[in-house]
Amino acid sequence: MIRSTNPFAKEPRYELVARVLRSNIQRGTLPEGLVLLEGPISRLMQTSRVPVQAALRQLMTEGLVHRFDGRGYLVGPDGLSIAAIRKDIAEFKLEISDAVDDALQTRGTWRHVYEQVEEEVASCQIFGEFRIVETELSDYLGVSRTVARDVLARLQERGLIRKSASSHWIAGPLTARTLREKYELRSIIEPAALRMAAPFIRYSEVEHLLELIDSDATLTSESLSDALMECCIAHAPNTTLVELVRSNMLLLSSVNRALTSLGLPHDEATLDQYRTLFDLIAKHPIDSAVEYLRDHIQISAARNLARMKIVAVISESGDFAPYLVPQ
């Protein structure tokens, strides 16, 4: 992969939009009382409305803009009864730093919209089966059909969508069986990969992870799962097996993120298990770590099946993105 040297290249698009608006408000380029509307901003920044909405919400929580009785937001803090100024934002000479401008311009690829779409597609599946309409998707994102197709290809690779017999893109329904099968596969291939990787694991890296678990309270089970992959399993010399492990995990991690975004409680009980696992890898014959990993995967499977049941409580709001059509 080609890595960009631009520090903003990996920032979500809404952050970039927020960054531009924030600096121009703080500098006084955008005066107090100016009405900020999504449409003109998205035209100016050459982006869709979704990141603009997110950016404006973000600025509202920062107290830089506020809601008022009309459409859009007013520049300035709430509660000062500032009079509304209605002017096109294009009339103000907005300063956009070269790096941000560059980051905004080079976002014509699927990457900047992918995460949002993945979350929407993964979460809708708990409610049933959906068809994805490609033209609606590109309109919704404000991107070309080519970019929309890139996004869909990536979703297919993750196992989140599939083609129906009539060549429609179909998502869901997400079932316990899907999860169970993925976990069964995990418990077969991951212990095998770990055993193969054992001679190539750098123990200092694993010991560093152990220190982190004890000192860094912000570590999540998701990041530890990534660390297990990168520092241990990925060292297995059988690259086909490593790829299989990676691709099998893709759907599970998307689903996990989607369920958390729907408001399901976090699963924090696994931190201890990672501590034990890394300890076994660093300090004991690999057999014990392999067995422990198998157990750990089975426990994760049971936890995730339990999570699949409790999503039944979440009622369907009917508020799906326009490109998702319930079947």
Partner 1 sequence: MPAPSENLAAPPRMHDRRLRVRGTSITLLRQVQEQAEADLGFRVDYELLDFPTCQRRAAMEPQGYDVYEQCFHNLDIVWFWGALQPIDIRRITQWDNISDLAKQGGISKYAWRGLGDAPVRKLYVQPGGFLGPKPSRQISMLPTVLNMDSFGYDPLIFGAGDAVRSSWAWLLDARAKGRIALVDEPAIGFFDAALAAEASGELEFADMGNMTIAEINALMALLEDRRRQGYFCGAWVDGDQAARLFLDCGVAAQSMWSPVYGKIGPQPGAFVEAAPTEGYRAWHGGASLSRHLVGAELDMAYEYLNWWLSGYAGAVMARQGYYISTPDLSRPHMTVPEWAYWYDGAPTAQDLYGPAGELVVRAGARRSGGTYHERAGRIAIWNTVMDEYNYAARAWDRFIRRIHDAQLTKDGAA
Binding site for partner 1 (CB under 8 A): 126-128, 173, 175-177, 180, 263-265, 269, 299, 302, 305-313, 315-316
Report, in Å, the least distance between residue 244 CB and partner 1. Answer: 25
Residue number, 132 or 259, with CB nearest to partner 1: 259
Residue number, 76 or 172, with CB nearest to partner 1: 172
Report, in Å, the least distance between residue 112 CB and partner 1. Answer: 32
Report, in Å, the least distance between residue 189 CB and partner 1. Answer: 23
Residue number, 21 or 160, with CB nearest to partner 1: 160
Structure tokens at 177: 């069986």
With CA atoms as reference, report the closest residue to 13 among 123, 89, 117, 152.
117
Report, in Å, the least distance between residue 14 CB and partner 1. Answer: 28
* 321 CB-side CA count, 13 A: 25
| Cα dist from 57 to 88, 163, 242, whole Å | 20, 36, 41
61: amino acid identity, one letter: T
Q: Which residues of 65-97 are buried (b: 16+ CB within 10 A; e: fewer)?
A: bbeeeeebbbbbeeeeebeeeeeebeeeebebe
Percent of the chain that is helix, strand, coil (3-state, to 5)? 60, 5, 30
Residue number, 85 or 269, with CB nearest to partner 1: 269
Report, in Å, the least distance between residue 299 CB and partner 1. Answer: 6
Residue number, 175 or 238, with CB nearest to partner 1: 175
Structure tokens at 293: 């990993």
Residue number, 53 or 187, with CB nearest to partner 1: 187
Report, in Å, the least distance between residue 222 CB and partner 1. Answer: 18
Helix (H) or strand (E) holding 326: strand 324-326
CA 136/CA 146 separation, integer angstroms: 13
